[in-house]
Amino acid sequence: MKSALITGITGQDGAYLANDLINEGYKVYGAVRRGSTPKIGRLSFLNIIEKTNLVSLEVTEFSNVYNILTEIKPDLVFNLAAQSFVQDSFKHPILTTEINYIGTLNLLESIKLSGIKSKFYQASTSEMYGEVLSDPQTEETPFNPRSPYAVSKAAAHFLVANFREAYGIEASSGILFNHESELRGREFVTRKITSQLAEIINGSDRVIQLGNLNSVRDWGYAPDFVKAMALIINNKPNDYVVATNKITSVREFLRLSAIASGMRPEFEGEGLNEKCFDKNTNKLICEVNKDYYRPSDVVFLRGDYGKIKKELGWSPSTDVETIIEKMTKYDLDAFSGKPRNFGI
């Protein structure tokens, strides 16, 4: 039986990827770091807790990483563990760098030193393009990172390429553009919008506080994107952009989500004074709050997935409107008292 170790299995992507690999017959090991309570909500939701082999792993601790890898000797290692929230990386740049860069180095160095033959997948990111130097972004577009998160990921990305070239390690990176789902963390803007709209629909007086509404992203669906990870690791080591090539602003995501929630959204004002009202109730539902602006932001991303389509046959299958429908339905159900979703 083939085996895979997923770091970051408790996160959005880790859970979906574990589900796919289990269905494909892999023995899946999931790296979990200690917390005061286990963060297994997503694995429980997908009903795969009993089918995963959880191991205690803190990626910043070399001996822990080395011992786990040499004990399990997985055929595949997916490195998804990260401090993944860009805004937080401005407050915690050292922690972000240790997890995202040193964590990756610990895994690669352990594979190199132990001589195990694991194939390696690195969760690289479109944030590395930062203030973009060409549009759409491809595997050839130079990086121009705009946050400690993006810098740490760019450094890890180059490390993966270096271990591939220098030591022949079968290591690949997927440069994934933003991907969302019902299991997305609530601090990211898409889930913040759909979950807080659901609270409002269910009677809360909350007014959603957002930052830059003009920011534009290329949003895909996480269950589609984890399929690309599995394709990448199982083919010749290389780097691939994974994206949809379609763009939507934060403002438009809010407008479409409000409509999907049954509201009639209308925007008034500009800049920091911009507000969104539900014309069905005349309630203020969203206002701009400068606390959610970043010291430096990435305001535009659009990926070209031509290489992975041509070489590995992957294309996105879910458009942003469908993603919004799915997330909205999930959050409306969760807040309307239907059986609760494991705290996700």
Catalytically annotated residues: 125, 127, 149
The burial of 91, by beta-carbon neighbours within 10 Å (0-12 exposed, 13-18 middle, 19 or more buried), is given as exposed
Query: Of the listed pieces 29-37, 49-57, 107-115, 292-300, which binds ligand G4F according to CB under 6 A?
Result: 292-300
Helices and strands (H, E) in the chain, number of each type: 12, 15
202 is written with which tokens?
């269910």
Footprint on residues 119-138 left by ligand NAP (CB under 6 A):
123, 125
Footprint on residues 241-300 left by ligand NAP (CB under 6 A):
none
Find, among 75, 104, 81, the residue nearest to 9 by Cα. Answer: 81
Number of chain positions touching ligand NAP (CB under 6 A): 27
Question: Could you tell me the smallest distance in angstroms from the CB atom of residue 188 to ligand NAP?
Answer: 7
Binder of ligand NAP out of 4, 13, 18, 43 (CB under 6 A)? 13
Question: Could you tell me the smallest distance in angstroms from the CB atom of residue 209 to ligand G4F?
Answer: 6
Binder of ligand G4F out of 110, 126, 181, 318 (CB under 6 A)? 126
Query: Is position 215 an interface residue for ligand G4F (rule: CB under 6 A)?
Result: yes
153 close to 125: Cβ distance less than 8 angstroms: yes
Query: Is position 104 an interface residue for ligand G4F (rule: CB under 6 A)?
Result: no
Cα–Cα dist 38/83, whole Å? 17
261 binds, among ligand G4F, ligand NAP, none (CB under 5 to 8 A by kind): none
Find, among 223, 258, 226, the residue nearest to 331 by Cα. Answer: 258
302 close to 135: Cβ distance less than 8 angstroms: yes
- Phi, psi (5° rounding) for residue 245? 70, 10
Query: Is position 89 an interface residue for ligand NAP (rule: CB under 6 A)?
Result: no
The amino acid at residue 171 is: A
51 close to 22: Cβ distance less than 8 angstroms: yes
Binder of ligand G4F out of 40, 69, 156, 189 (CB under 6 A)? 189
Binder of ligand NAP out of 25, 35, 271, 339 (CB under 6 A)? 35
Query: Of the listed pieces 59-67, 110-118, 125-133, 311-319, which binds ligand G4F according to CB under 6 A?
Result: 125-133
58 close to 64: Cβ distance less than 8 angstroms: yes
Query: Is position 40 an interface residue for ligand NAP (rule: CB under 6 A)?
Result: no
The amino acid at residue 39 is: K
Query: Is position 226 an interface residue for ligand NAP (rule: CB under 6 A)?
Result: no
Cα–Cα dist 231/131, whole Å? 29
Binder of ligand G4F out of 62, 188, 267, 342 (CB under 6 A)? 188
Query: Is position 61 an interface residue for ligand G4F (rule: CB under 6 A)?
Result: no
Q: Which is nearer to ligand G4F, 57 or 175 (CB)?
A: 175
Binder of ligand NAP out of 141, 178, 190, 212 (CB under 6 A)? 178
Cα–Cα dist 101/322, whole Å? 34
The amino acid at residue 153 is: K
Query: Is position 238 an interface residue for ligand NAP (rule: CB under 6 A)?
Result: no
CB atoms within 10 A of CB 13: 26
Chain positions contacting ligand NAP, by CB under 6 A: 7-8, 10-14, 31, 33, 35, 39, 57-60, 80-84, 99, 123, 125, 176, 178-179, 185
